[in-house]
Amino acid sequence: MSKNIILLFCLGLFAVGCGSKDKDTQDVIAPHTGDPVVEETEKAVSPTHPAYNKAVEISEPVAAIETEERKKEDLALEKIYYVHASQLNVRSSREITQNILGRLELDDQVIVVDYESVEDDDFVEIKIVSSNREMKASEKYYVAYQYLGEKRLPREIKQKREKKSKYFVIQNIASKKIRVYERSPSKKHQLVFEESMIPGKNTDKLRTLLGRFKISAWHKFYQDYKKRYAPWYKKGMIDPPPAGAPLSEWKKAKYMEEGRDQPVRGPFGWYTAHLAPDAGGQWMHGTIGRGKDSNRFIEGVGYNRWGSTGCSRLNNEAITYLRDLLPTGTPVFKIYAKEDASDLSRVSLYDELQPLSTTERPAEHALPFNYVLTKSPTGKSGVKDLTMDRMYANNVIEFGTYKVDATPTVVQYYPKGLVTDYFNKKANYGNTYNLKDNELKGFFLVDQGVLKDYQHPSSLEVRGYKQMPIPDYIQID
């Protein structure tokens, strides 16, 4: 039996420690906005804040702009208030449950109807005066009072809160590809990153959720809160296995936390990006292995015979690059689509079932990314982001260069049939979950980063920002 087959068989024996589709912990952390960053940094600004004085230049960070101390009883009834958060959940009742009717945004206007001060919660009943957002019909509407301001936000603060991310991420679960684009007003977005990934296994409980999300937090050497899996690195633990070590080495008891029955060391890899809202615990993260070793656990022969428990798993060098590139708040779109291109002469074609049809073009904009992975529990690893004190030899785990692939590649799609049934779990044929052809609507143009006449397959679960449709900037007719 070859080493590759042994490796892949072993990989199939464990499910990497992503969360399940149970209630999202981020929704518990951020029940009022659905985004932990917004929840903490975008509360109402006091009407006496210096930013309202046009002669004063505000240099403080957004996180430092806080509301004055007030109770919900301090709000005046039948008075217009302005939404000061970039997104604010509207609920049909005071309970934090599956009752979100929609979301308001910056400068939407509401009137406070009642606050029921006897209730020990953050909710006030409102009437919506002005908003461009769609809202489900309800007898009553409730929002958290902390995000309602007496005046429109000062222009400078509003610009900070509504600032659009320079990049966006599209994960095509069908083709097992993750791509990052730099936005363009012309909708001809520039591909800056393309890499293979491992999505969830093809079972009802483990398939990757589709939808619109955003990066809510980054973690280095992440460990699940139940500590079911050992972190890739942790002070006081034995160092992880060396480069080239087989999977069996990463499963040895000596590499686990003392006193814990853990099946594998470091399944979340070097970095983990948490997604929100309602992401079902399905993050974007690295994997076991060291540096370039990680590709063995992502792109091995027949690599799609196994998968995660829903998370999107990348090699460690790739996720380290994304940690440097993508700030919190970056949009992440998970789709399931056939791939195409507006100009086939500018893309590569990947066809695993017909290798002679596969074409490769020289990599464009393939800039080297130099990194130094340190023992520090936080921070980025790009060389330009490291301070000298963090680069002392005894603080360095490893260093290297990752070649960023920015050449668009179309993965050939095959509909469910005799061929795909035979190759199911043996090859990447652009249809990870082996769906029927009539379930896939539209195309994903990989060279422009846009969707043409796309709809999510009805058989796959969609979460995230359900009240927010796919934005216009990644759609074309």
Strand-pair category, 100-104 with 462-464: unpaired
- Which of 398, 374, 380 is closest to 328 using CA atoms? 380
Q: What is the phi/psi pair of residue 365, to 5°?
A: 55, 30
Going 426 to 208 to 165 to 60, the CA torsion angle's sign is negative
The predicted model scores a pTM of 0.74
The DSSP result for 200-247, as a single string, is B-SSTTTSPPEEEEEEEEEEES---TT--SB-S--TTSPPPPPTT--H
Nearest C-alpha neighbor of 158 from the set 105, 110, 233:
105
User: Among candidates 67, 60, 62, 63, which has minimal Cα distance to 46?
Assistant: 67
List the chain domain ranges. 3-26+191-408+437-476, 46-153
Q: What angle do CA 142, 148, 129 make, to 5 degrees?
A: 65
Query: Cβ(333)–Cβ(470) under 8 Å?
Result: yes
> How far is the C-alpha of 95 from the C-alpha of 138, rounded, in Å?
15
Assigned CATH for 3-26+191-408+437-476: 2.40.440.10
Cis peptide before 377 (omega within 30 of 0): no
Give the per-residue pLDDT at 159.
Answer: 78
103-117: buried (b, 16+ CB within 10 Å) or exposed (e) per residue? bbbbebbbebeebee
* Residue matched to tokens 């600004």: 45
pLDDT tens digits for the chain (477 residues)? Answer: 444 433 443 444 344 446 556 544 444 568 998 777 788 889 999 888 888 876 544 444 444 444 556 788 889 999 999 999 999 999 999 999 889 999 999 999 999 999 876 667 899 999 999 998 889 999 999 999 999 999 999 888 887 777 667 999 999 999 999 999 999 989 999 999 999 999 999 999 999 999 999 998 899 999 988 899 999 999 999 999 999 998 899 999 999 999 999 999 999 999 999 998 889 999 999 999 999 887 788 876 444 456 788 999 999 999 999 999 999 889 999 999 999 999 988 888 887 777 666 676 655 556 889 999 999 998 888 876 555 555 677 889 999 999 999 999 999 999 988 777 777 666 788 999 999 999 999 999 999 999 999 999 999 999 988 766 788 899 997
